[in-house]
């Protein structure tokens, strides 16, 4: 633990705390409009006010409040999508690796197709047909991201099922399902945890990109990507509208990647952690 990326862990913990306690921490309702106070600068700038620490946007909405509530969307999407992809990708990888034959061929060709699809273009098409909503964003991300993990789990399963302890369990009459759940699944969980942690930043970035393009979570719900889009036309005069949500996206994505790299080193039995 002495080599743990404590700064990254603190950033992720702060983001989750902001998501959980946004109603208690936010000084204003994120959707309150005050056109008489639009583009108020942050508190430390000339003309700023302590009431709006990070300033206001083009509709007079408090940037800090929207930033806190935007964390709720990003963290919710990240948790739901990462867990769903972990379950789906692990199940597909275990089935393909252990069953082999036509099942392996069919599942892996399906995974190849999913990996070859242009994620953003598919998301734009689906959302334009089904409409923009939080549920549709989550469904799109889950449907597109499970394939990478499934191939990793499948490769490890192919190696594990040739091991002596699996052969002994098979000879002892243990059912295939029990072998997969008791003997193979625990041995692939390290990879699942690492890949899932690394996927947190990717999911948040993808959701923010969809919101930035206007096909993610629809307004007036506060999202980090939507906040960046709201301020892009005023970047020269009201830079704070886009800067702070952009920094939040960057910090959380970087923290997720660094934490995933650390977990990979910790959980890899071959790594040298002396």
Mean pLDDT, residues 109-116: 89
Q: What is the pLDDT of residue 274?
A: 43
- Sign of the alpha-carbon dihedral angle for 255, 257, 260, 266: negative
Provide the percentage of residues in the chain whose pLDDT is more than 90: 25
Residue 90: per-residue pLDDT: 93
Tokens of 186: 């625990």
Cis peptide bond upstream of 210, omega within 30 = no
Q: Which pLDDT value is given to residue 80?
A: 92
Q: Mean per-residue pLDDT for 140-159?
A: 89
Using one digit for the tens of pLDDT, what is the confidence trace for 4-55? 788 888 999 999 999 999 999 988 998 888 888 888 889 888 888 888 899 8
Contact 196, 86 (CB under 8 A): yes
Residue keyed to tokens 């939040």 = 248
pLDDT at residue number 272: 52
Tokens 């899932």 label which residue? 196
pLDDT tens track for 56-100: 988 889 999 999 999 998 899 989 999 999 999 999 999 999 888
Instruction: Name the more confident of 166 and 269.
Output: 166
Whole-model pTM: value is 0.85
What integer pLDDT is reported at residue 14 of this predicted model? 92
The answer to whether residue 268 scores a pLDDT higher than 80 is no
How much is the average pLDDT of 156-176? Answer: 87
Report the mean per-residue pLDDT for the chain. Answer: 87
Q: Is residue 70 within 8 Å of residue 62, measured between CB atoms? A: no
Would you give the DSSP letter of residue 216?
S
CATH architecture, domain defined by 14-267: Orthogonal Bundle (1.10)
The DSSP output letter for 221 is: S
User: What is the predicted pLDDT for the residue at 270?
Assistant: 57
pLDDT > 70 fraction of the chain, expressed in percent and rounded: 97
Asked if residue 234 has pLDDT above 70, the reply is yes
């Amino acid at each position: 633990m002495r080599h743990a990326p404590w700064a990254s862990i603190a950033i992720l913990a702060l983001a989750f705390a902001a998501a959980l306690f946004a109603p208690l921490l936010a000084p204003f309702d994120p959707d309150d409009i005050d056109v008489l106070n639009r583009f108020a600068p942050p508190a430390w700038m000339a003309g700023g006010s302590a009431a709006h620490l990070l300033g206001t946007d083009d509709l007079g909405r408090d940037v800090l409040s929207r930033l806190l509530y935007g964390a709720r969307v990003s963290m919710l999407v990240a948790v739901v999508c990462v867990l769903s992809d972990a379950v789906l990708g692990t199940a597909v990888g275990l089935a393909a690796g252990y069953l082999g034959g036509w099942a392996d061929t069919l599942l892996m060709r399906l995974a190849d197709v999913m990996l070859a699809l242009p994620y953003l273009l598919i998301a734009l098409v689906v959302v334009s047909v089904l409409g923009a909503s939080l549920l549709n964003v989550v469904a799109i991300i889950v449907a597109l991201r499970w394939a990478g993990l499934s191939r990793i789990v499948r490769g490890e399963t192919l190696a594990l099922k040739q091991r002596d302890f699996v052969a002994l369990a098979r000879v002892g009459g243990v059912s295939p399902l029990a072998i997969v759940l008791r003997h193979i699944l625990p041995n692939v969980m390290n990879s699942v945890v690492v890949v899932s942690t690394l996927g947190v930043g990717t999911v948040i970035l993808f959701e923010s990109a969809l919101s930035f393009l206007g096909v993610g979570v629809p307004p007036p719900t506060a999202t980090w990507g939507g906040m960046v889009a709201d301020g892009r036309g005023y970047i020269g005069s009201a830079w704070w509208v886009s800067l702070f949500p952009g920094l939040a996206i960057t910090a959380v994505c970087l923290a997720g990647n660094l934490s995933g790299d650390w977990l990979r080193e910790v959980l890899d039995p071959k790594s040298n952690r002396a």
